[in-house]
Each structure stands twice: as C-alpha cells, then as structure tokens.
Structure 1
Amino acid sequence: MASDDDSNDFWHETTALPFIKMLQSSGYSNEDIETHSKWYNRFIIPALGPRPQAGKKPLFDARITADGSPIELSVNFKETSNVRTVRFTIEATGPEAGTPTDPYNQEETTRLLQAMANSIPSIHLGQYKTFSHNLFLPATTAPSLLPKVLHGTPLSLTQAWVAFDLAHGGGIMAKVYFMPFLKWLHTASSSSPAMATKDLVFDIARQCNGPFGSYDHPISLLDSYLSSFPSGSFQPTVEMVAIDCIDSPSARIKCYLRTNVTTLQQAKEAMTLGGRIKTEDTEATLQLLGELWELLLRSKIGSGEDIETKSVLVEGAYCHLAVEMKPGFPGSVETKLHIPVNKVDGGLRDEVICAGLGEWFAKRGHGEFGGSYRKELKETFVNLEGTHTFVSFTYTKKTGVYMSMYYSPQTHAGLELNEVSSGANGGPIHRDVWEGYDALVRGVLHGKE
C-alpha cells in the first residue's frame, strides 16, 4: 500500500488520468468509464506502492517498462469487433517489498487478487494458486540467492505481474504473468544438469490439467520446437508464463519466449514454431505479418535491402513470442509476436510508429481509427515520444487481425532516475529491463555464477 504521503495523488495524475482518457478514446460509455475508474482508484492505485522520488532509492524497483513505470497500458484491436479493449499490466508493490520480510515482492500480488476475487465473482484463482505455490520463494532464501543475481537486472527480483482487460459493459478479466527466473535459479544452483525454465514451467502447467481438459498436447508441441535447436545455438527461452484467472475450458496458459528474432524471416519461422503450426490461417497470418512489418519498420530497411533478412533490432533486443494453450481445445496452439518497437536499431520515433500504424489500419479498412491514432495518443499522454513499448500481432479468420499496442505513461519522467539516450536518428533508446539475463543464464549453466 502507498504510505500517507502524496503517492495516491501522484499515481492518479500519472496513471489514472491516461487510463481514463484511453477509455474515452476507445468508445467506452460514460457509465463504463465511471465503473472502471472507481475500481481503478479502489484497487490499483494503492497497489502501485510509494511514488518514485528523485534522489531516493526505493526498497523495491518495480519495472514493467524500460523507463521505470510500474504500469503498462495497452489497447487491443480485434478486426471483427466494432470496439477496442483497454488493458493494462502492473507490478503490485507492497509496503514491505524489498525488505527481509518480503524481499521478492510476492505478498501484494496475492493480497490484491484475493481482495478482487471477493468482490468480482468472475475472478477465479485456482491456477494462480498452483503457479504461485510452485514459483514463489520463501523470504529465507534471499540471503543465499540474491548475491547470484547480476546487479542492474530488475527481472531478477520480479516474480509476478497482474494484468486486466476492461470490458465494455463493466466486466473485468484478470491475468497473472509469472517470471520463473528466481525459482529456476534457485533450482539450477542445486541440480546437475541444470533444469531449463521450460521444464519448470511445463511441470507446473501439467498440474493444471483437470475437468476441462489437458495442456499435454500443446506442451509437447512447444517442447518439440524448443528442443529442435542445435546444442550451442541460441535456444528460445521461456522467460514468462501467464494464466487467465477464470474457470473455463478457454483458460489459457501462455508461455512467453525470448527469441533471437530480429528479422521478418525469423519472425515467420517463430510464428509457426518452425513449421509445426499449420492451419488454414497460417498463410494469411504470415502474409499480413510481412505487410505490417514493412509499414512499421520500413524506415530501417534501405533501398535494395531484403526485407526478409534485414535485421532491424539492436543487439540483445529480441522479439518475444507468446504461445497460447487452452485445456478445452487441446489441438489448438496460437502464437502472437511481440515486436519491441522501442528497441529498433537506430531508434524509432513514436511519430514514425504512429504513421506506420495509422497507414496499416487504414489499409485494412479502418481509416477512422488509423486517422485518429496519433491524435488520440497525444491527447492521452503528456509526452508522446518514448510512449510505445511493444506492438503484438496475430491473425485468425474468426478475429481477423488481432493486435495490441502497448504504452508507457512515463511516470518517472523528469525525475532523473533512468538511463535514457538518443539513437542515431534522434529516437529514444531506453535501458533494457532484461539486461544481464543472458549473461546470468550462461554463468549458471556453465558453473560460473
């Protein structure tokens, strides 16, 4: 919880106001906006913890975004729907986060979800309890575990993020994103050979098999893909796993892979899990991905260069692939590509991103949204530059193009707390919040921690 200082006012100004503006621009009714705003003020603002202050190092550094903001807003666009959905993700931060009592900041996530479940009947915490039981660590492990974590690696202290989809009509869906990193490190330190994060995550996911069905088949398909990479090559790593807080055959378990994708050709290969996903939608998905890639990133592809093989991301900034599995649909495996547009080689200004996305939506027959995209963002955020973080993409005949645009409200702007530099073309390059992860993985696996 925030203390008796001005934290609540700070978080309201820097996060709630953009959130409300995003609801307005996405066509929510006044009644829905009032309902969601009251819910946000009641549950979310207190869960953001103490406000950042220049010159004062926090006990716990919640960093969902590279600039330090503890919240990432997003808008979901589903082509066959006439409405857009506002969503956001936070790292709930408790009063004792970073202290010996709660060194990993695990307590506030559980408290927040339990409080919501008591007032929102649709929130179901069955899978949350399974994953948190297996991934959360006792506070007593911190003295021996944390010295093994590289300095400046916020991922190393992050155990869970909580996300919400805000429905038109007032409904709320909760999701939780778990980072298996610390539990893996704790396990790898005492195993030989070291267990991979995928093995840890898959074992827990299988515990969620039940009356609605099994995750076994999609797990086997994903495991086959991950195991196909030759020894010594860059193998995609399961860096995050997400669950839907619902009791349904459609309750997803989503594995987020850190890939080596920096080109369109590699992106297409990843989207099909190396050719393992072949559906009636596959051909159209890859064609549309290529069209989006070209419009969004064409400023980084020179005349005569091959769009398929041109690397457009800075070293160490890879696309992430979300692999979705549902127990009630065991043969269904869906993938979404998350493009880190704020880490494009040489920088990619938000004005350029807005222009590319505006043209893309207009090309798909959504000229009104495409034409207003930049204007709506400028009305939502105080500073447009550095706002976009990711753009995700997938396609099915049922939903059409399915995309989410992710944004940082830059809550730490002006506090001189973060390392931010300019790219060669004037675009922002932010410090990578995953920095140090690869080095630590190599160190543990080779006994050099």
Structure 2
Amino acid sequence: MVEKAIPWHQYVLPFSCLHTAHTRDQEFWNCRLQPILSRMLSASGSSLTETESQLDFFSQCVSPYLGKRPPRFGIRHPSWHSFMTDDGTPIELSWSWSENDTDMEMLPAVRYSIEPLANRSKRDTPSSNVYGNEVFLQKASVCCTDVDMSWYQLLSDVLIQKEQSFPKGRSSTGERESQIFWAFDLQGSQRLLKVYYVLNARAESMECSKLDLLMQAVSKLSLDSSMLAALENFRSFVESSPDDLEIEMLGFDCIDPMKSRIKIYFRSRKTCFDEVCRIMSLGGKSNFVDRGALQPLKQLWYSVLSLDPGMPTSRSLPEKNHRTAGILYYYELRPGSTSVKTKVYIPVRHYGINDHKIAEGLSGFLKSRNTKLKNCDYIEILKKTWPRRSLEKGLGLHTYVTCAISKAGKLNVTTYFNPELFRTARSWRKKPFSV
C-alpha cells in the first residue's frame, strides 16, 4: 500500500484567518500541489521525514512564488501564462527512472520545475517577470545543495531581457513572456538546483537567431576543450540539418562549473520515428547511441503513443497546429567529454490517445525494464493522486515521456505531469493510428 498522504489541513498556512490575497494564493498552491508531491515522494521510496522536509521547502520557498490562484468560477485564464505548460500552470512535476548495472528493481527520483511568479511589483511591466525571479532566488538558493551561481551571474545579463526594452505584444502560449525556469531534483531531504533560460524574448529583442544567442552566451563560460569540441559538433549538426531545428532553451546545473552539465533544448517539427533516430544519433555520429541501442526507445515510442506495431517508422504522426507540437530534444554536454548525450521528449499530450492509454503503455514498458514505483501500481497511483481526473477521457495530465540512452545502453525514462490548474476542458484522440 502507498504510504498515507499527509492530511489536507496540514497544508493550510498558520494564522489562515489573517487572509490577504497573497496568503490565499499561497494556500491554494499548497492545498493543490503538496498532496500530489507527497504521494509522488512516497511512491518513489522517500521516508516520512524526507517527505516532510521537501513539503516544508515547497511551502516556504516555492508556493509563495507561483502567482495568483485560478478564479473560482468562470473561465480559468491565468493572470500570467507560463510557457512551462500548455494551459499556463507554472509548475511541472516528474518521476525519473535511471537504469544501472544491478539486478535490483529501480525506483524513480522526483523532480519538479517552476516559473517563479511573485506578486506584481512596480518594477514589473505587464510583459515581464524579472522581479518575480529575483525574489524567489534569494530564498530558494540557500536551501539547496552545493549551490554555485557563477554561471547564472555570468549569463543572466546576456539572456534575460529587461523590462524597459521588452518586446511589444503578448503571446497566447507565454513564450514571449517566460524567460527563466528553475528546477529541483529531490534527493532525500536535499535538492539540486537547476536553471533554464527561455530564449524567445531576448533573441527577438536582439534581432538575432536563438542559436546565435545561445552560442554568444556559452562563449562567456570557461569551458574545457572537450566541451568546446562537443558544442561545435552540436552547432555543425544543427546548421547542416536538412530541416530547421528550433532552439528553445539553455539550461545547466547550479553547482561547481567543473561538474555542471550544459543542456540545449530544441524542437523538430518532423515526427516520424526515423527522424527521432537520426537526431538521437547525431546523424549517426554519436558515441552514445547506435541503431541497436534505439530498439528500447522504439518500444517506448510505440507503447506510450498506442501505435499499431505495423506502422512504418518512416510515417509521421498526425499534424498538430500547436506551438509545442513536434518532438522536443536536448543535447547534454559534460566537462571532460567530447560526446553529446541526447534525450528525446515524446509529447504524449499532443499525440497520445488519452492519459489512461499513455499510463498503460508506460507501465508495461517500465515493468519490462525492471523499474517500478514503491508498493503501488502506476495507473492506480495516478488515479489516487489526481482523483478529479478521468484518465480515460482526456489528454494533458502527462505532458512528456522522455528517454535518454547511456554509453552502456542503459535508459533514463522520465514521465512529466501538468497539474492543469488552469485547464477547463480536456481533449483526446478517439482511436489509435492505423498502419
């Protein structure tokens, strides 16, 4: 059985009679999100002490910076549409399984990402959230493990667009407004801090491509010769690609730069599995991935998308007219390595049948790889964690299912969740794709 969730009343802030708009917002985020986080931690094997520590951090350092709660009645448009999720919810949570060389069943790590949205300040314009990021970071960074903000301090002036020269107009997806996300890898009672820059606003203001902006930023860092070689391999691959690959974000770990990874996110509008193989293998030049290593990825791809086993790998998924349609990838650079590690983000929220079929396909795949949750079934824990969701009747709870492959052929599989707190309606695909 899953460890019993902490009672709801423990999530309510002390002195709740002294309600201001801000404390009501914070109380909303605590009441909606801490039970989800608690169940996810319990299913990952966290102890009660570790879970309470992570929930306390969330309450003190995260929920005050998630912005205004959704309106109780009527259309649930967010006051700030975060590019974090399609409906504008400024947080995304995940379970991540990493295989190793032992025969032990593997439990997942819990992570989550946020866009900090502090209450409006006179320092903020309607199209900027720079101040929200500043006040969040002052509090959260001191509560994370081995934090080193050297790269953040070097790159923020390059990658963050200030209020006074922010591009005019707003976007329906948040891509023009959102500039920076923060993420936490939860490790027992500790947290690893990561940062991600969304490059749209700054590149538009500078009238340059996002690839040029990214290369300009990375040139500020003192990278070793191996990482510089890997970066040049990435740039050559992007520039020689037969189709435009859309650069999206630059991320890194906020630790000692000698240990930090650099992660470059980009999107391809091509959705056939053959194209996935080409990009994952750097056009066949990757030291990490060969065609044989991609067979488990093919199994995962067909499982979570409920594809007919006979569907050709050259066949594209149905076209979707959405900003986040297509396939997302990241290339990871590590100190001391000329190799580029790749990860594919399968956007199941666009191409799955419904959340139940996605969960069914992923659950079967995880069992075949000796990975699991602690004392619970994947589908059942989703139903308990999101009891108001009908998994069979909609898409959107699962956002991505991702896969990375190590040199040894071991997989890292991650499933991402959107709490959908601004979503008023859900969509679904009516039937599987045929051959």
Shorter-chain-normalised TM-score: which range? 0.7 to 0.9
Q: 1:245 to 1:60 in 2, by over 3 A?
A: same
The answer to whether the Cα contact below 8 Å between 1:338 and 1:393 also exists between their aligned partners in 2 is: yes
Is 1:83 the counterpart of 2:107? The answer is yes
Shift of residue 367, structure 1, vs aligned partner? 6.5
Q: Distance in 2 between matches of 1:164 and 1:178?
A: 15
d(CA) in 2 for partners of 1:365, 1:44: 33
1:32 maps to what in 2?
A: 50
Mapped to 2, the partners of 1:370 and 1:222 lie a distance apart of: 42
User: Which residue identity lines up with residue 146 of structure 2 in the other structure?
Assistant: S
Which of 390, 396, 399 is the aligned partner of 2:400?
390
Which digits, 9 at most, give the CA deviation of each residue in 1:384-434, with x for residues without a partner?
A: 533100001012255821011000112225xx4xx644434499xxxxxxx
Does 2:345 match 1:338?
yes
1:358 and 1:18 map into 2 onto residues whose CA distance is 19
Matched residue SS, 2:421: coil
Q: 1:256/1:100 Cα in 2 relative to 1: closer, same or farther (>3 Å)?
A: same
The secondary structure found in structure 1 opposite 2:377 is helix
Aligned-residue Cα RMSD (Å) equals: 2.6
**Structure 2 counterpart of 1:180, one-letter code:** L
Q: Which runs of 5+ in 1 are unaligned?
A: 189-194, 428-449
Match for 2:40 among 4, 11, 22?
A: 22
Q: Deviations over 1:298-339 (max 9, x none)?
A: x333x7531x1122253341111100012x223131000000
Does the C-alpha gap of structure 1 residues 409 and 119 become closer, same or farther in structure 2, counting only changes over 3 Å?
closer
| Conservation of the 8 A alpha-carbon contact between 1:229 and 1:235 | yes
Q: Deviations over 1:75-94 (max 9, x none)?
A: 01012274321000111002
Asked whether the 8 Å contact 2:95–2:108 carries over to 1, the reply is: yes
Is structure 2 residue 30 aligned with structure 1 residue 12? yes
Q: Do structure 1's residue 204 and structure 2's residue 217 form an aligned pair?
A: yes
Query: CA separation in 1, counterparts of 2:22 and 2:374?
Result: 42
CA distance in 1, matches of 2:191, 2:412: 20
Match of 2:359 in 1: 354
**For the structure 1 residues 97 and 358, does the alpha-carbon distance in structure 2 shift closer, same or farther, using more than 3 Å as the test?**
farther
CA contact (8 A) 2:81 2:173 kept: no
Deviation at 1:119, TM superposition (A): 4.0
**Structure 2 partner of 1:375:** 380
Alpha-carbon shift at residue 104 of structure 1 (Å): 1.4
User: Whole-Å Cα distance in 1 between the matches of residues 372 and 428 of structure 2?
Assistant: 32
Q: Secondary structure of the equivalent of 1:184?
A: helix
Q: Select which of 365, 368, 371 maps to 1:363.
A: 368
Q: Would the aligned equivalents of 2:327 and 2:345 in 1 still touch at CA under 8 Å?
A: yes
Amino acid of the structure 1 residue aligned with 2:344:
L
Gaps of 5+ in 2: 1-19
In the alignment, residue 78 of structure 1 is paired with which amino acid? S
Go from structure 1 to structure 2 and tell me whether the alpha carbon gap of 1:128 and 1:354 turns closer, same or farther (over 3 Å shift): same
Percent of pairs with identical residues = 25
Question: What's 1:72 paired with?
Answer: 92
AA at the equivalent of 1:341: V
2:230 aligns with 218
Cα offsets for 1:24-59 (capped at 9, x unmatched): 111101111111111111101101122121458655
User: CA contact under 8 A between 2:88 and 2:422: conserved in structure 1?
Assistant: yes
Aligned to 2:411: 401
What corresponds to 2:311 in structure 1?
305
TM-score by length of structure 1 reads: 0.82
What SS is found at the alignment partner of 1:34?
Answer: helix
Give yes or no for contact 1:159–1:179 (8 Å, CA) kept in 2: yes
Question: Across the two proteins, how many residue pairs are aligned to each other?
Answer: 400
Q: Aligned to 1:123, which of 134, 147, 152? A: 147
Say whether the 8 Å CA contact 2:130–2:162 is kept in structure 1.
no
The verdict on how the C-alpha distance between 1:126 and 1:300 changes in structure 2, with shifts beyond 3 A counting, is: same
**Contact 1:218 1:330 survives alignment (8 Å):** yes
- Distance in 2, Cα, partners of 1:181 & 1:134: 13
**Is 1:146 matched with 2:151?**
no
- Shift, 1:71, TM fit: 0.8
Q: TM-score, normalised by structure 2?
A: 0.84
Deviation, 1:359, is 1.2
Separation of aligned partners in 1, 2:245 and 2:116: 28
Kept after mapping to 2: 8 A contact 1:59/1:98: no
Q: Within 1, Cα distance between the matches of 2:222 and 2:84?
A: 30
Match of 2:15 in 1: none
Query: 1: CA distance between counterparts of 2:294 and 2:369?
Result: 15
Supply the distance in 2 between the matched residues of 1:45 and 1:11 (Cα, whole angstroms).
6
Mapping of 1:28-177 within 5 angstroms? 28-53=46-71, 54-55=73-74, 59-80=79-100, 82-96=106-120, 100-101=124-125, 103-120=127-144, 122-142=146-166, 145-147=167-169, 151-168=171-188, 170-177=189-196
Contact map agreement 1:362 1:369 (CA 8 A) in 2: no
TM-superposed CA distance for 1:249, in Å, is: 2.5
Q: For the Cα contact (< 8 Å) 1:360–1:370, is it kept in 2?
A: no
